Chain A
């Protein structure tokens, strides 16, 4: 089972991003997803910067995948998506499609792609259909249980790899509205890139103090952090080939090391469960629940 780092969910200064991926290059991660998936205004790194990073990471022996924006509204965003897909195809770099527009472009370019978690694949028929358009790997929608994922894998006949999002705050929704700007009383069009002040998003808690959501620009993420790492043996037994962690902080790279050594010595515990962890979806419960 390969270990992957998903795309960066938060808006960080360029130097921090570069330093982070320098460390990732030296880590035990097998595959790294790069690119901006949340907001087209987050441009600390442009496409050339990402391609440069991709080059360095490939040199370090990592497979690199370029991830696309998940919510595409403006014409300029669609144009940027075309540019990304065409460039990736030219460089022979795999792309993670996070919107059907990306699927449309990549299928026309006949360039293989990963179906990201924001594409709605709830059954094997849909997965097969995408496999016929060039999908070689899929990340199941986050709300699917282990049983539902297993059912799809067993029914699918195309050789599509399955990658499970197993650690990090889950993206629960995408909106036209920027909640970070709203929290600062700023209009989205004059947001002052306020996300830079929140490298781990902003917590939205219920009136009795329960951490419910994490506001991350136009994304609403889970308040709790998904932790399926201690179930890695069960995940592997399901036939899942890749396990994904979200690069939320440098700590994630330590978890990668822990996971790697747990795999090598066949130990179940990668990281102890904490009060802010959850794993409900996998266990057919509400997403926020923790089943230990």
Chain B
């Protein structure tokens, strides 16, 4: 299985290369990609430097142009595709049909990967994208159980990539408007979720309160660890109970099911986190490199190491990890 790693900056890119990434995905400095955060991502010069580095080390470079282009700004997505081709990217990760069509028509030699933001959760949807745009790979949304991933991967409609580690989207990606409902900006339109400029922290005397566009997402007692106010990880009141109504702050970690993913025919695992630091990328990628190497050497003897799990847990949201939707009881 190919290890696909995130880089939001050149230092993070270097860290991923050195830690053993097989492929690294990046985005340009605008809302054409789903991690459109201040100070993050690559201009043309940095992207070319990244590619040089990738070529030296035999690592692939993918460019994510995976938000949805609105009519007036469509040319920006078009330019981004041309730019990805110009720098020599190995694949384009796209979600918008119009972007895929443009790439498929004008750059048929460029490999197309359907982004997780494309929200294709079944072989019927995947077949559509293969028929229309000849996609070579699809990244599956984090809503499928392990059994369902196996069914999709074994159908051989298209090569499958799944998420291995990182922040956990619990909604079908590409079809979530929670963020724009509260702030006006969503992953699809602006490449952001619960954007930082709407975040506010208030000391109320009894609590530390996190707000997003003036909406209370959570309140923390002094002995509780406060987390970033991502909408789906807030504590809300339902039927007289106050709890994490949607999901707790936690990260996805699939190390323990790697042999099953490999046996199912999954071709690549993706690490989330282009917004993360080079140090984070380095630590996470190193663990995953070791795990995948051990899996390749002897799949039957593969087992997770305590230090791997501990390292990943310490880098996780809320210091806890989950198998998410892969595990049926989670659903």
Check A176–B331 contact: CB distance below 8 A: yes
Q: Judge if A220 is at the interface, Cβ distance under 8 Å.
A: yes
Please tell me the number of chain A residues within 8 Å of chain B, measured between CB atoms: 70
Check A204–B180 contact: CB distance below 8 A: no
Least CB distance, B177 to chain A, in whole angstroms:
4
Least CB distance, B157 to chain A, in whole angstroms:
11
Interface readout for A123-165 with B: 1 if CB under 8 Å, 0 if not? Answer: 1111001100000000001111000100110010000000000
Check B219–A207 contact: CB distance below 8 A: yes
Q: Judge if B1 is at the interface, Cβ distance under 8 Å.
A: no
Known: A120-B188, A172-B176, A173-B178. A286 touches B183 (CB 8 A): yes
Interface stretch among B17-25, B159-167, B233-241, B300-308?
B233-241
Chain A residue contacts of B178, Cβ below 8 A: 172-173, 213, 220
A178 to B96, CA, bound (A): 27
Residue from B128, B176, B324 within 8 A of A103 (CB atoms): B128
Known: A74-B148, A182-B245, A202-B239. A176 touches B143 (CB 8 A): yes
Interface readout for B181-216 with A: 1 if CB under 8 Å, 0 if not? Answer: 111101011000000000000000000000001011
A143 to B96, CA, bound (A): 16
Residue among A77, A78, A107, A286 facing the most chain B CB atoms (10 A cut-off): A286
Check A174–B246 contact: CB distance below 8 A: no
A247 to B190, CA, bound (A): 31
Q: Judge if B39 is at the interface, Cβ distance under 8 Å.
A: no
Q: Judge if A114 is at the interface, Cβ distance under 8 Å.
A: no
Chain B residue contacts of A103, Cβ below 8 A: 125, 128
Known: A73-B148, A99-B125, A120-B175. A172 touches B181 (CB 8 A): yes
Known: A174-B171, A187-B329, A207-B242. A152 touches B71 (CB 8 A): yes
Check A286–B188 contact: CB distance below 8 A: no
Check B247–A143 contact: CB distance below 8 A: no
Given contacts A101-B123, A213-B178, 15 further A-B contacts (CB under 8 A): A73-B144, A74-B148, A99-B122, A100-B120, A104-B131, A124-B71, A126-B96, A141-B188, A174-B175, A175-B172, A177-B246, A187-B331, A204-B238, A205-B237, A288-B182
Chain B residue contacts of A37, Cβ below 8 A: none
Q: Judge if B82 is at the interface, Cβ distance under 8 Å.
A: no
When C-beta atoms are compared, the residue in chain A nearest to B217 turns out to be: A206
Check B68–A122 contact: CB distance below 8 A: yes
Residue from B98, B181, B213, B242 within 8 A of A125 (CB atoms): B98
Known: A78-B122, A204-B245. A286 touches B180 (CB 8 A): yes
Interface readout for B83-118 with A: 1 if CB under 8 Å, 0 if not? Answer: 000000000000111100110000000000000001
Within A48-99, the residues touching B (CB, 8 Å) are 70-75, 77-78, 81, 99
Residue among B145, B236, B239, B247 facing the most chain A CB atoms (10 A cut-off): B236
Q: Judge if A113 is at the interface, Cβ distance under 8 Å.
A: no
Least CB distance, B8 to chain A, in whole angstroms:
24
Closest 4 CB pairs of A and B: A101-B124, A125-B98, A151-B71, A287-B181
Chain A residue contacts of B30, Cβ below 8 A: none
**Contacts A/B (CB < 8 Å), 21 sampled:** A71-B121, A73-B144, A74-B148, A78-B122, A100-B128, A105-B124, A120-B119, A122-B96, A122-B98, A122-B188, A123-B74, A126-B96, A129-B101, A130-B97, A148-B70, A174-B175, A176-B145, A187-B331, A208-B216, A286-B182, A287-B182
Check B181–A104 contact: CB distance below 8 A: no
Check B122–A183 contact: CB distance below 8 A: no
Chain B residue contacts of A118, Cβ below 8 A: 175
A100 to B72, CA, bound (A): 25
Q: Judge if B170 is at the interface, Cβ distance under 8 Å.
A: yes
Q: Judge if A281 is at the interface, Cβ distance under 8 Å.
A: yes
Least CB distance, A2 to chain B, in whole angstroms:
25
When C-beta atoms are compared, the residue in chain A nearest to B237 turns out to be: A205
Check A175–B131 contact: CB distance below 8 A: no
Check A286–B236 contact: CB distance below 8 A: no
Check B71–A73 contact: CB distance below 8 A: no
Chain A residue contacts of B72, Cβ below 8 A: 151
Chain A residue contacts of B232, Cβ below 8 A: 173, 220
Number of A-B contacts (CB under 8 A): 219
Chain A residue contacts of B234, Cβ below 8 A: 206
Interface readout for B224-256 with A: 1 if CB under 8 Å, 0 if not? Answer: 000000001011111101100111000000000
Within A166-224, the residues touching B (CB, 8 Å) are 170, 172-179, 182-183, 187-189, 202-210, 212-213, 215, 220, 222
When C-beta atoms are compared, the residue in chain A nearest to B95 turns out to be: A120
A213 to B129, CA, bound (A): 33
Check B177–A143 contact: CB distance below 8 A: yes
Least CB distance, B282 to chain A, in whole angstroms:
31
Q: Judge if B69 is at the interface, Cβ distance under 8 Å.
A: yes
A125 to B132, CA, bound (A): 14
A73 to B245, CA, bound (A): 22
Chain A residue contacts of B121, Cβ below 8 A: 71-73, 99
Q: Judge if A109 is at the interface, Cβ distance under 8 Å.
A: no
Least CB distance, A36 to chain B, in whole angstroms:
17
Check B238–A202 contact: CB distance below 8 A: yes
Q: Judge if A285 is at the interface, Cβ distance under 8 Å.
A: yes
Check B71–A287 contact: CB distance below 8 A: no
Q: Judge if B296 is at the interface, Cβ distance under 8 Å.
A: no
Check A122–B328 contact: CB distance below 8 A: no
Chain B residue contacts of A104, Cβ below 8 A: 124-125, 127-128, 131
Q: Judge if B151 is at the interface, Cβ distance under 8 Å.
A: yes
Interface readout for B66-80 with A: 1 if CB under 8 Å, 0 if not? Answer: 001111101000000
Q: Judge if B27 is at the interface, Cβ distance under 8 Å.
A: no
Chain A residue contacts of B236, Cβ below 8 A: 204-207, 212-213
When C-beta atoms are compared, the residue in chain A nearest to B213 turns out to be: A286
